[in-house]
Structure 1
Amino acid sequence: MANTLVVVAHPDLSNSRINAAWRNAIESLPGVTVIDLYGRYPDGKIDVAAEQRLIEANDRIVLQFPMQWYNCTPLLKQWIDDVFAPGWAYGGGRAVAGKTLCIAVSTYSKASDYEKGGRYGRTLEELTSPFEVLAFRVEMLYQPGFFLSGLESLSDEELAISTEQYREFVASCGCG
Structure 2
Amino acid sequence: MILIVYAHPHPGHSEANRVLLDAVSDVPEVKVHSLYHQYPDFAIDVPAEQALLEQARLVVWQHPIYWYSVPSLLKLWFESVLVRDWAYGDTTALAGKDCLWVTTTGAAEAAYSMSGKHAHPFAAFTPAVEQTARFCAMNWLEPFTVHGAHKIGDAALAEQGQRYRERLLTWLADHGSS
| TM value normalised by structure 2 | 0.92
Equivalences, count: 174
After TM superposition, give the deviation of residue 129 of structure 1 in Å: 1.4
1:1-176 equivalent positions in 2, closer than 5 A: 3-173=1-171
Percent identical among aligned pairs is 33
After superposition, the Cα gap between the structure-2 partners of 1:152 and 1:135, relative to the gap in structure 1 and judged at 3 Å, is: closer
List alignment gaps of at least 5 residues for structure 1: none
CA distances 1:59-116 after superposition (whole Å, capped 9, x unpaired): 1100000001101100011111111011101121110011111201100011101123
**SS where residue 42 of structure 2 aligns?**
coil
Using the alignment, how far apart are the partners of 2:158 and 2:53 within structure 1?
A: 29
After TM superposition, give the deviation of residue 57 of structure 1 in Å: 0.2
After superposition, the Cα gap between the structure-2 partners of 1:121 and 1:91, relative to the gap in structure 1 and judged at 3 Å, is: same
Using the alignment, how far apart are the partners of 1:122 and 1:45 within structure 2?
A: 35
Using the alignment, how far apart are the partners of 1:10 and 1:46 within structure 2?
A: 15
8 A contact 1:113–1:120 mirrored in 2: yes
List alignment gaps of at least 5 residues for structure 2: none
Using the alignment, how far apart are the partners of 1:110 and 1:60 within structure 2?
A: 28
